[in-house]
Amino acid sequence: MGPDDPAGCYILQVPELPEVEVTRRGIALQLAGRRISRVEVREPRLRWPVPQAVRKLAGRTVRAVRRRGKYLLFDCGDGHLIVHLGMSGSLRVLPSGTPAGKHDHFDLVLGDRLLRLRDPRRFGAVLWTAGELAAHPLLAHLGVEPLSRAFAPARLYFLTRGQRISIKQFLMDARRIVGVGNIYASESLFRAGVHPRTPARRLSRSRCAALAQAIKETLRVAIRAGGSSLRDYVGADGAAGEFQLRTWVYDREGLPCRRCGTPIRRIVQGARATYFCPQCQKR
């Protein structure tokens, strides 16, 4: 299986945590410390209506760009602009005055550059909150950040106690752990050698430790892969970077396992496809 194996690369269609994190890093480099000069809302009908408060952000300074789960949080001092990319959204930094296309619904203009949201399906969100972030209805129930120090092996063991659902479905529950989407759940379970149908509560301490480590590694590898396309997210030409991943199991049904050669299997759990190696992954 060479690097040109077409089944080996998966192009992300829905932005997941690594893609959002790569976007955040690119935006933070370009925008942190800059003053908002103008806001342009071309289409307020996103997943939720863009509130009037967003149109009045001119004059504020973007102090920092943070992330919670898949939400980007622009710290403006007295409140936060909250941006979610939904199913098809992308953000880019462009020179001010760049003509907008059909799906370019929102611009934050900061002097000589602007941040532009393109979202053909309009499941994305642009919101404002002056309140406590942790108490915001969209953020209050989010689980632990998998890349944070708080997500230690002991934490995963603690979280899974008493949980009868399969570990695959457990990993995808954002109320417990945020940002482990369908692709990364399959990939992490493969790395840890855990069968996706294993009941969460049956995982031993040592297997929880291996799985927590595998989740962090899987996400970091994806962020690194995305980092190589960082240039494209912030480039003056506005070309979108393609976020390609070389997957171990995801979307590889019937293809030989990259470790042992056994054909990869596909099953459905909670209406979502799961891919795994029946040889490398044990209950």
DSSP states of 123-156 as a string? Answer: --EEEEE-S-GGGSTTTTT--B-TTSTTS-HHHH
Determine, following the binding rule CB under 5 A, whether residue 259 of this chain makes contact with Zn ion: yes
In whole angstroms, what is the distance from residue 74 CA to residue 59 CA? Answer: 14
Which residue's Cβ has the minimum distance to Zn ion? 257
Taking the complex as a whole, the smallest distance from the CB of residue 168 to Zn ion amounts, in Å, to: 17
The CB-side HSE value for 5 (13 A sphere, CA atoms) comes to 15
- Find the binding residues for Zn ion in span 129-168 (CB under 5 A): none
CA atoms of 62 and 75, how far apart (whole Å) = 6
Euclidean distance between CA atoms 230 and 224, whole angstroms: 10
Stretch that binds Zn ion, among 25-33, 199-207, 227-235, 275-283 (CB under 5 A): 275-283
Give min distance, CB of 224 to Zn ion, in A.
24
Q: Interface with Zn ion includes 279 (CB under 5 A)?
A: yes
Which residue stretch of 59-67, 170-178, 201-209, 271-279 sits at the interface with Zn ion (rule: CB under 5 A)?
271-279
Who contacts 42 (Cβ-Cβ below 8 Å, separation ≥6)? 100, 104, 105, 106, 107
Of the ranges 86-94, 197-205, 215-223, 258-266, which one interacts with Zn ion (CB under 5 A)?
258-266
Token pair for 170:
């457990």
277 binds Zn ion (CB under 5 A): yes
Site residues, Zn ion (CB under 5 A): 257, 259-260, 262, 277, 279-280
Active-site amino acid positions: 15-16, 70, 272
